[in-house]
Amino acid sequence: MPAILHEYDSIIRKQIAQGIVQHVHPKSGEVGQVHYLPHHAVVRQSKETTKVRVVYDASAKVGGPSLNDCLFTGPKFDQKILDLLLRFRTYPVALTADVEKAFLMVSVSENDRDVLRFLWVDDVSKADPEIQVVHFARVMFGVSSSPFLLMINATIDHHLKAFRSTNPEMVDVLLKSMYVDDVIAGAMDEESALKFYVESKDILRQGGFNLRKFTTNAWRVQENIDKKEGLSRESPLQGPCNLDETYAESTLGCAQTMGPTEQAVLGVKWDVATDRLIFSVSEISALADDKETTKRRVTSVVGKFYDPLGFLSPVVVKFKMFFQELCEEGLEWDQTLGEDLLRKWQLLLASLQEAPIFSIPRYFLGGTDTQVISHSLHGFCDASKKAYAAVIYLVTQTNSGPRVTFLVSKTRVAPLREVTIPRLELLSALLLARLINNVTESLSPNLSLECPTCYTDSMVALCWIVGSDKEWKQFVQNRVSEIRGLLPISCWQHCPGCVNPADLPSRGLTPSELSVSKLWHRGPDWLWESVTTKEPFQPEEIPAECLPEMRVRDQKTHALITTSVAKVLKCEEYSSLSRLVSVTAYVLKFVRALKEAVKGSRSSDSGLIASAQELSAAEMLWIQESQQRLIEDKHFPTWKKQFGLYCDEDGVWRCGGRLHHANIPHSMKHPILLHRDHHLTSLVVMRAHQKVCHNGTKETLTEVRSQFWIVKGSLW
């Protein structure tokens, strides 16, 4: 303990010597607002250097708001992390660096320094040391506004923009590559990477910032940079010595054990030697110690998952579902889990302990030397009762064939209030639309992307999205409007659920299951085939599940257009088949006019008299209607075998028979089967009876059988 105390004291005294921290003169008085910061030591035994770090707690509160509660934090950086990581994967030559002690290079106004006071002693060796008051003269780490002050205010951002007239290209690259004090960049070749190193370091040096700890996957570039920096490594691709932590290293992800060639890039482990991004979850299980398992403890462990790219989302979502289950049970934060919940939790933790290490290529074309023809984004979405998800793959067409790369995934647990599956499917489509729009904006500066394609296995959600001629109820309409605003309707396609990779994170997988999931790692097999242009999705008919979400006006119109003909006309009220067919033809003509009016188009057929084709279609519609009674009859399976029934291209059941090669009309070879109890059959027989000039049963039956076969027709 004394050793830690002396090291703690030496850190503060060094900051005083450097002018970072200043003594407050006892006679200066307290002018304006004053706040005292609590502080404590964090001891990191895993670090090779700087084992003790002084942490100042600006979030501490006693009987009132904390200092951080009173400060404007500025814009959040969460979304920028994903943008940087996505662009980081587009460079053949990756390059990372950080600004040395970036926060401590920015001075705090003298009027504001008294809110950054803290207490220390004059000599830690004394038995009764004298308490001293000191305050920060520089921007300190731990204050919520510090990242904003460093990056956005008149510091790095202002300094970089001063060079826009002399080196605009490098300024734009740096602004798009910085996360607070980290630089995450790259280049298309080694020469450009060296140019970036020289120019970026020089620009920041002129503002008083030292850009250091350069790391790259190109060993020639690394050797050249190390030579200029005066560094030596056992291996050119060995990770940098971590002299002190950057903002990202302190705030993103959980503590990770790094190998000799590994380093953290915005909280994601990057193996420089293999140029792969590494994902490991086994270390998280060690954080769930043998303490009493409460809802608070579960939350702490679940919060340790850090996966900005979403590669582990099928695993993480199972933990999210479990936490939601605790909320549904109404458990208090410090209430111990019941036996059933505890068993589920232990199974989840056991699956982490057995988890393999996952990795994906950092560069999306890593390991190949092929000519790129085009890039396109293909997104998938799906939902279950517990969660909904979206995942995006980058398909790169090369001269040696397509390459498919996992890019990013997002998951959301379903709301606690029960929501229908179609609505959850729509939420997943909205999640995908937002995600693919963000990915497009992130990658567009580096890649030329073709129009994206979005897939869902929900016909209901698809009909809501592409049904631009319909008005839906508020929940659906609001989300559909946003989806259409983000992506054109022509982007959306249907895919079978069995080949939808978004199904995996919507239901959850164990780490072992994820490790062998070819669908998740590579996407559907057909993405690896030559891309063919698909026609925009147009549903043949609106699923019944869509109707409850329609506005009342559209429901009435749709009911008139899609209802069964038997619900519009009563066959039993007609004594003539020709009259029934004529009236039906005119009704169909009216319905077509309604459809065209709904779509806003004008009919090309303006005639008032039904054509022969329309009369034939009307008769076929009644035949199809009458055959529903056949299908519902308990003897239908027997008749199907007895008559060799088959369904033709019009959906009409016809008899097979043995007259395939007979020189007779097709209607006689394969007559249409009619049920003897349907009124249409009576009208058919009556027409045949009139056609044979009211002759006997034999002649009438012969005429009927030239087109139809009535079950037990001889007993008519």
Per-residue confidence band for 78, with pLDDT thresholds at 50, 70 and 90: very low
Predicted local confidence at residue 656, as pLDDT: 83
> What tens digit of pLDDT does each residue of 176-200 get?
898 888 899 999 999 999 999 999 9
Q: Quote the percentage of the chain above a pLDDT of 90.
A: 48
What's residue 105's pLDDT? 80
Provide the residue ranges of all domains of the chain, joining segments of one domain with +. Answer: 1-240+255-274, 275-362, 366-549, 576-710
Whole-angstrom distance, CA of residue 265 vs CA of residue 184: 8
Instruction: Report pLDDT digits (tens) over 306-335.
Output: 999 999 999 999 999 999 999 999 889 999
Mean of pLDDT values over 100-115: 86
Average pLDDT over residues 485-511: 94
What confidence score (pLDDT) does residue 165 get?
85
Residue with tokens 């005292």: 36
Tell me the per-residue pLDDT of 52-62, one tens digit each, with 9 for 90 and over: 889 999 999 88
Mean pLDDT, range 426-441, rounded to an integer: 97
Average pLDDT over residues 211-222: 93
pLDDT-derived band at 663, boundaries 50, 70, 90 = confident
Higher pLDDT, 621 or 270: 270
User: 286 to each of 111, 281, 340, how far by Cα in Å?
Assistant: 46, 10, 22
CA–CA distance, 369 with 372 (Å, rounded to integer): 9
Per-range mean pLDDT, top range of 205-209, 214-218, 532-536: 214-218
The whole-number pLDDT of residue 657 equals 77
pLDDT score of 560 more than 50: no
Q: What value does the mean pLDDT of the chain take?
A: 85
pLDDT in tens, 580-597: 999 988 888 887 777 677
Q: Using pLDDT thresholds of 50, 70 and 90, give the confidence band for residue 716.
A: low
Query: What b-and-e string marks burial along 219-242, b requiring 16 or more CB atoms within 10 Å of the CB?
Result: eebbebbbeeeeeeeeebbbbbeb
Average pLDDT of the residues in 371-391:
95
pLDDT of 49 above 50: no
pLDDT digits (tens, 9 = 90+) for 450-496: 999 999 999 999 988 987 666 788 898 999 999 999 999 999 999 99
CATH code of the region 366-549 = 3.30.420
pLDDT value at residue 175: 86
Distance CA 594, CA 588 (A): 10
Q: Is-contact 235 259, C-beta < 8 A? A: no
The pLDDT of residue 218 is 93
The sheet that has 21-23: what strands, in order across it? 21-23, 131-136, 117-121
* Region of 104 on the Ramachandran plot (φ > 0 left; ψ -120 to 50 alpha; else beta): alpha
Query: Residue 237's pLDDT is what?
Result: 58
The H or E element that residue 42 is part of is strand 39-43
Q: Which two tokens stand for residue 659?
A: 């007259």
pLDDT score recorded for residue 42: 87
Asked if residue 549 lies in contact with residue 600, where contact means CB atoms within 8 angstroms, the answer is no
How far apart (Å, rounded) are the C-alpha atoms in residues 630 and 645? 12
172 to each of 112, 203, 206, how far by Cα in Å? 32, 12, 17
Query: What is the CATH number that goes with domain 1-240+255-274?
Result: 3.10.10.10
Tell me the DSSP string of 383-449: E-SSEEEEEEEEEEEETTEEEEEEEEEEEEEPPSS---HHHHHHHHHHHHHHHHHHHHHHHTTTS-B
